[in-house]
Structure 1
């Protein structure tokens, strides 16, 4: 495998992992009766809508069907991808729930 192919595979892997992180975020929101698009917009007010978030929303299930996603799991996943602004907004929502 040459350097370009290796770079392409690494990028594809990262993008796949990033989509999983977005899905975890979206499902956590559904599980807590929160709108993921509103939370995302609060974290990133200068960004337009996120197409990956729209895709993830189509893959979420009802909170009755979903498994539990702990707050710690979500915050850990967000930190892995450097989504500190979104983690801050999520942390604020967690505080409101308690």
Structure 2
């Protein structure tokens, strides 16, 4: 029973990690689509976290804006909020506001 429970817990943790990587990818691709540097925006939200390795790894999966589908602002904000990244969602909101002012 303990081995089964351990395996279930490991599967849950791995599933969450994969979901979290997808959230990071949505954020990073949105930044690329908007002409923003994902690492710079991340550092605005979390200045105490130097060099986020997961973000760097996921950045390799982004594609040029021309190859990507659109990611609505509401989608990236919703995904960030779902994972409790309120500070990053705030930084994204500020980037959106700045973009909208320039239009």
The TM-score bracket by the shorter chain reads over 0.9
Q: Say how many residue pairs are matched.
A: 98
Normalising by structure 2, we get a TM-score of 0.93
Which residue of structure 1 lines up, in the alignment, with residue 17 of structure 2? 15
CA RMSD of aligned residues (A): 0.8
Deviation, 1:3, is 1.0
1:59 aligned onto 2:81: no
- The equivalent residue for 1:32 is 34
5+ long unaligned stretches in structure 1: none
Whichever of the two has the greater Rg, that structure is 2
Which TM-score applies when normalising by structure 1? 0.97
Q: Distance in 1 between matches of 2:49 and 2:35?
A: 23
User: What stretches of structure 2 of length at least 5 have no aligned partner?
Assistant: none
